[in-house]
């Protein structure tokens, strides 16, 4: 029966409502509300009504069954200046035609072929690492995954400029952590926060244009995706506009490196806390590949590595929530959700739900048996989202995470710097607040 009253939810301030993303620890707040108010709860963020879904069936109803009733959420819309109408943010016909176009660069054959570059770039990076030194894995992994994605998708070697490009990440994250809490009008004021954000977007834009220019010069060598974008012709026979090329380039540069880098950081963190898992990984690696470099084709025999990465994405999902806005009045879980309301579904909250995961706070790669996986409801675990807007790079990311993890682990062990604290913060992605500082120990094998 359709209920016209609101779902239960936390009491809010008359003017501000209850704004979890404006709080110091939004993930704990959301988790507590989910445990208190059940499968669907309601809160207001300023003037925006928000319906939070906390059950796999309700999440499926939004991402799959009734997906046409929703558009992408406000968190992404706030970043329109950054992503424009790239694949992550576009809607309708434009999104569909771009998705079809880009899909070819993510076929399983293409992803397998990218494997060699993934391993080669990792081996090159490791040459610089020394026994006993301290490193921050957060920027290290970002640099590596950025170089890989620009090489394989755009055919450009950005090694010299990668670190300067990565400096744009902080103002963008800062804006997303703090600027999102601002009223829409305030995001356009020339405050230091907003100006730093705009500057970072301009730098990224120049970088994207540089890559596209290089690709145009040497079309035959352009990476898989850029060649497709440059060759594409619209219904009128025209090429993609410069603006659309810029939007896709920025989208893939950002979506294609940061999340995988974070997945690796969190996996190294969990392994530092659970040395038994690292030993098992190394034993499996030795049995499958011996001393030779890994290949993407090895992945199907690396079943423990797959479980470790799955478990890491469960506990620390780099995309900690997905959101939608209702484009029409819609029913969810028996409640009438009005057009314009936000709907939020959080991987962090769902992945730690004791109804679906035994001892949910524990790192237990063993839980991912075939039997467990087959009876788990589909949207109890959704690190890559789902439905038609499922992450286009999911198999790219899983291949890359496994190859990089094992290539690094066979050379080095990491222990957390004593006294350093690792706290997750939410800023588009789930990142360690003060980086991931580790002490590097070299294993005997020479690079
Ligand atoms: C562990 C790594 C990754 C995670 C956890 C992740 C997560 C996600 C999620 C949750 C979405 C859906 C967002 C929504 O429904 O609103 C998404 C979409 C997307 N991802 Fe990923 N992603 C990862 C890696 C990648 C990589 C490697 C690429 C590209 C090389 C990529 C490119 C994209 C794009 C373009 C979209 C938008 C797809 C569309 O709407 O058609 N992602 N990702």
Percent with pLDDT over 70 in the chain: 92
Distance 144 CA to ligand 1 centre (A): 18
Give the three-class secondary structure for 43. Answer: strand
Q: What is the mean pLDDT of residues 394-419?
A: 97
pTM: 0.94
pLDDT given at position 12:
75
In residues, how long is the chain? Answer: 447
Tens-digit pLDDT profile for residues 163-185: 777 887 777 877 776 655 555 66
Cα gap 204→136, rounded to integer Å: 23
* Dist. CA 16 → ligand 1 center (Å): 31
Burial grade of 15 (CB within 10 A; 0-12, 13-18, 19 or more): exposed
Q: Are 192 and 73 in contact (CB under 8 A)?
A: no
175, two tokens: 């804006």
Task: Classify residue 42 by its DSSP letter.
Answer: E
Most confident of 13-27, 80-94, 127-141, 414-428: 127-141
**Residues flanking ligand 1, CB < 6 Å:** 72, 87-88, 99, 149, 251-252, 255-256, 259-260, 263, 318-319, 322, 383-385, 389, 391-393, 396-397
233 Cβ contact list (under 8 Å, min separation 6): 239
- Strand pairing report for 322-326 and 70-72: antiparallel
Query: Cβ contacts of residue 319 below 8 Å, gap of 6+?
Result: 259, 347, 383, 384, 385, 391, 429, 430
Per-residue confidence band for 70, with pLDDT thresholds at 50, 70 and 90: very high
CB-based contact 283:303 (threshold 8 Å): no
Atom of ligand 1 nearest to the CA of 401: 1
Give the ranges where 256-295 is alpha helix by DSSP (H): 258-273, 275-289
Cα(254) to centroid of ligand 1, in Å? 10
* The ligand 1 atom nearest the CA atom of 98: 41
- Point out which residues pair with 3 in neighbouring strands: 335
Give the residue, by CA position, lying nearest to ligand 1 atom 3.
259
Please, are residues 396 and 104 in contact by the beta-carbon 8 Å criterion? Answer: no
337, β-bridge pairs: 330
Ligand 1 atom closest to the CA of 385, numbered from 1: 10
pLDDT exceeds cutoff 60 at 423: yes
Task: Give the distance from CA 233 to its chain's centroid.
Answer: 30
Mean pLDDT of all residues belonging to the chain: 90
- Between the CA of 255 and the centroid of ligand 1 the distance, in Å, is 6
Supply the pLDDT for residue 157.
Answer: 82
For residue 29, give Cα distances in angstroms to 20, 22, 150, 358, 360.
Answer: 7, 11, 37, 21, 17
Percent of the chain with pLDDT over 90: 70
Segment 196-225 shows an average pLDDT of 80
Sign of CA dihedral 341, 30, 60, 181: positive
Segment 313-339 mean pLDDT:
96
Sign for the pseudo-dihedral over CA of 170, 352, 343, 378: positive
Please state the rounded mean pLDDT for residues 88-94. Answer: 93
> Structural domains in the chain?
20-442 (1.10.630.10)
User: Strand pairing of 342-345 and 48-53?
Assistant: parallel
Q: pLDDT for 244-301, tens place per residue? A: 999 999 999 999 999 999 999 999 999 999 999 999 999 999 999 999 999 999 999 9
Residue with tokens 């620390």: 316
Minimal-distance CA residue to ligand 1 atom 20: 391
Mention every residue, 6+ apart, whose C-beta is less than 8 A from residue 352: 31, 315, 360, 361
pLDDT digits (tens, 9 = 90+) for 300-311: 999 999 999 999
């Amino acid at each position: 029966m359709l209920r016209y009253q609101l779902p239960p939810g936390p009491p809010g301030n008359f003017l501000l409502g209850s704004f979890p993303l404006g709080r110091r620890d939004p993930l704990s707040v959301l988790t507590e509300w989910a445990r208190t108010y059940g499968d669907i709860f309601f809160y207001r963020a300023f003037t925006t009504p928000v319906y939070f879904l906390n059950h796999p069936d309700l999440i499926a109803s939004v991402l799959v069954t009734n997906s046409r009733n929703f558009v992408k959420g406000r968190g992404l819309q706030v970043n329109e200046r950054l992503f424009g109408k790239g694949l992550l943010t576009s809607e309708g016909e434009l999104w569909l035609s771009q998705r079809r176009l880009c899909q070819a660069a993510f076929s399983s054959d293409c992803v397998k072929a990218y494997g060699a570059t993934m391993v080669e770039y990792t081996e090159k990076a490791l040459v610089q690492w020394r026994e006993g030194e301290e490193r921050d894995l957060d920027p290290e992994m970002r640099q590596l995954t950025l170089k890989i994605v620009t090489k394989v998708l755009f055919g450009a070697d950005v090694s010299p400029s990668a670190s300067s490009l990565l400096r744009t990440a902080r103002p963008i994250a800062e804006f997303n952590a703090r600027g999102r809490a601002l009223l829409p009008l305030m995001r356009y004021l020339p405050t230091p926060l907003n100006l730093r954000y705009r500057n970072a977007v301009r730098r990224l834009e120049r970088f994207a244009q540089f890559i596209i220019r290089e690709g145009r010069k040497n079309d035959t060598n352009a990476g898989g995706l850029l060649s497709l974008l440059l060759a594409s012709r619209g219904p009128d026979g025209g090429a993609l506009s410069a603006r659309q090329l810029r939007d896709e380039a920025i989208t893939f540069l950002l979506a294609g490196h940061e999340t995988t880098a974070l997945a690796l950081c969190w996996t190294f963190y969990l392994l530092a806390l659970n040395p038994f898992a690292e030993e098992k990984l190394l034993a499996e690696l030795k049995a499958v590949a011996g001393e030779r470099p890994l290949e993407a084709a090895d992945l199907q025999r690396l079943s423990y590595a797959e479980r470790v990465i799955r478990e890491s994405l469960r506990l620390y999902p780099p995309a900690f929530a997905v959101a939608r806005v209702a484009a029409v009045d819609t029913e969810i879980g028996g409640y009438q959700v009005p057009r314009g309301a936000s709907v939020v579904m959080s991987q962090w909250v769902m992945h730690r739900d004791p109804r679906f995961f035994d001892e949910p706070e524990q790192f237990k790669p063993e839980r991912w048996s075939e039997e467990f996986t087959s009876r788990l409801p589909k949207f109890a675990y959704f690190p890559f989202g789902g439905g038609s807007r499922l992450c286009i790079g999911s198999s790219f990311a899983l291949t890359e995470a496994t190859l990089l993890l094992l290539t690094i682990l066979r050379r080095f062990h990491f222990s957390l710097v004593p006294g350093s604290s690792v706290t997750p913060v939410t800023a588009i992605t789930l990142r360690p607040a003060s980086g991931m500082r580790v002490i590097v120990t070299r294993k005997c094998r020479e690079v």
